[in-house]
């Protein structure tokens, strides 16, 4: 088989690049994945009860990028959806990110008022304060509050998810869920928030429905690479695997997902309930909130964090911290030696905690800089 591009991995990164290369440059692409489906970790499917579930954990689309929104809107209609998360703290379910409503749900009104006043004086209404920053800067009553939130929302959740303390990770990790001095209970505040109306997999199908794109599933690229002639390659798998672990393993975190379908219309009040303190799980998501379906049954997914063991489970999260970044830099140097013959893209290949929209934005950027600009003659 002869193609212009071999793209390894049919997730957001691989699908965006395949679509752009095929439709904008008219070049031929073989997109492959070792799994038996397209979509990478954003893959969804209808289970035996007709409920749309996310095989690799709940995926909620949100972005600040008009570019990404406009691009994906070519391949899907959207269902407006604002994700809400409650966290169980001292037996009560309170809004996460922790906000002024959480404060009033947990403390007597007079004390909550006092804490609110301090937050407003120190930071201002509408401000998002990462928990580690709140702990650094707080004194007096705010120091109490910072420690309370750290202890009851972050420390044990983070221990389950990463087997680390919040301060042992890049600040940006817990900064994804900052204390929000607001009454806005939504998990995200991005201007674009919605779910693909017919699911992610359907959106990917449309992206890949181009005669220049062939898809090969159930195959590790190493099994077939000698049988395919190609000019350039995109690789979206783990970067350390690509280089045969020459600088040792990069740590990734994994998860085990446990699905349960109940004979009841709803199980919980919102899309996701976090369990920062109790149980081995971090959170339970009720899929119907994400899909907007109505049904007398409901499907839940529970997430059990695990260490990633190559060959045994899947790498889901890079572990953002200094020592891992240093090791990643060694791999990046090796990648740069290949002079663009292989483009490394995405959460695993770039060892970056990308959300879906960031993976898509990065893939669009790589297409413009590393693909389009380097093949100007072939633009159709």
Complex with ligand FAD: residue 90 or 217, whichever CB lies closer:
217
Contacts of residue 98, Cβ cutoff 8 Å, sequence gap at least 6: 87, 149, 153, 179, 180
Q: Are strands 5-8 and 29-32 parallel, antiparallel or unpaired?
A: parallel
How far is the C-alpha of 4 from the C-alpha of 212, rounded, in Å? 10
346 binds ligand FAD (CB under 6 A): yes
221 binds ligand UDP (CB under 6 A): no
Range in contact with ligand UDP (rule: CB under 6 A) among 117-125, 169-177, 230-238, 241-249: 169-177
How far is the C-alpha of 222 from the C-alpha of 228, rounded, in Å? 11
CB 328 within 8 A of CB 351: yes
Residue 220 contact partner, candidates ligand FAD, ligand UDP, none, CB within 5 to 8 A by sort of partner: ligand FAD
How far is the C-alpha of 248 from the C-alpha of 336, rounded, in Å? 18
Complex with ligand UDP: residue 8 or 94, whichever CB lies closer:
94
Residue 257 CB-half CA count within 13 A: 16
173 binds ligand UDP (CB under 6 A): yes
153 binds ligand UDP (CB under 6 A): yes
CB of residue 223 to ligand FAD, shortest distance in Å: 8
> To 10 degrees, what angle do helices 109-122 and 141-149 make?
100
How far is the C-alpha of 183 from the C-alpha of 93, rounded, in Å? 16
174 binds ligand UDP (CB under 6 A): yes
Residue in 207, 221, 220 with CA at minimum distance from that of residue 18 = 207
Residue 87 contact partner, candidates ligand FAD, ligand UDP, none, CB within 5 to 8 A by sort of partner: ligand UDP
Complex with ligand FAD: residue 244 or 373, whichever CB lies closer:
244
177 binds ligand UDP (CB under 6 A): yes
Residue 56 contact partner, candidates ligand UDP, ligand FAD, none, CB within 5 to 8 A by sort of partner: ligand FAD
Complex with ligand FAD: residue 37 or 128, whichever CB lies closer:
37
Q: List the interface residues with ligand FAD, window 54-93 (CB under 6 A).
A: 56-60
319 binds ligand FAD (CB under 6 A): no
């Amino acid at each position: 088989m002869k193609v212009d591009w071999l793209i390894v991995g049919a997730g957001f990164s691989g699908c965006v690049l395949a679509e752009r290369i095929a439709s904008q440059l008219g070049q031929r692409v073989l997109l492959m994945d070792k799994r038996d489906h397209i979509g990478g970790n954003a893959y969804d499917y209808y289970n035996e009860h007709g409920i749309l579930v996310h095989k690799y954990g709940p995926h909620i689309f949100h972005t600040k990028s008009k570019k990404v929104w406009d691009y994906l809107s070519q391949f899907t209609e959207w269902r407006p959806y604002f994700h809400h998360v409650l966290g169980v703290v001292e037996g009560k379910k309170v809004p996460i990110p922790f906000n002024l409503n959480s404060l009033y749900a947990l403390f007597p009104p007079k004390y909550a008022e006092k804490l609110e006043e301090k937050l407003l004086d120190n930071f201002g209404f509408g401000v998002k304060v990462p928990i580690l920053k709140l702990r650094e800067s707080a004194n007096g009553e705010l120091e109490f509050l910072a420690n309370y939130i750290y202890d009851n929302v972050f420390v044990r959740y983070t221990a389950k998810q990463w087997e680390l303390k919040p301060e042992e990770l890049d600040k940006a990790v817990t900064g994804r869920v900052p204390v929000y001095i607001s009454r806005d209970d939504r998990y995200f505040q991005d201007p674009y928030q919605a779910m693909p109306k017919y699911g992610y997999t359907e959106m990917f199908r449309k992206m890949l429905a181009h005669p220049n794109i062939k898809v090969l599933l159930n195959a590790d690229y190493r099994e077939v690479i000698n049988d395919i002639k190609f000019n350039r390659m995109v690789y979206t798998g783990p970067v350390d695997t690509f280089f045969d672990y020459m600088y040792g393993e990069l740590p990734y975190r994994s998860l085990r997902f446990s699905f349960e379908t109940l004979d009841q219309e709803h199980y919980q009040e919102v899309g996701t309930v976090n369990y920062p303190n109790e149980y081995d799980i971090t959170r339970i998501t009720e899929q119907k909130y994400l899909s907007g379906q109505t049904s007398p049954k409901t499907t839940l997914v529970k997430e059990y964090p695990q260490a990633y063991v190559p060959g045994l489970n899947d790498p889901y999260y890079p572990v953002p911290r200094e020592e891992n970044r240093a090791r990643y830099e060694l791999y990046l140097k090796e990648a740069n030696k290949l002079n663009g013959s292989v483009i490394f893209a995405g959460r695993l290949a770039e060892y970056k905690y990308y959300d879906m929209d960031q993976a898509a934005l990065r893939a669009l950027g790589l297409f413009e800089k590393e693909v389009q600009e380097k093949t100007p003659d072939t633009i159709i």
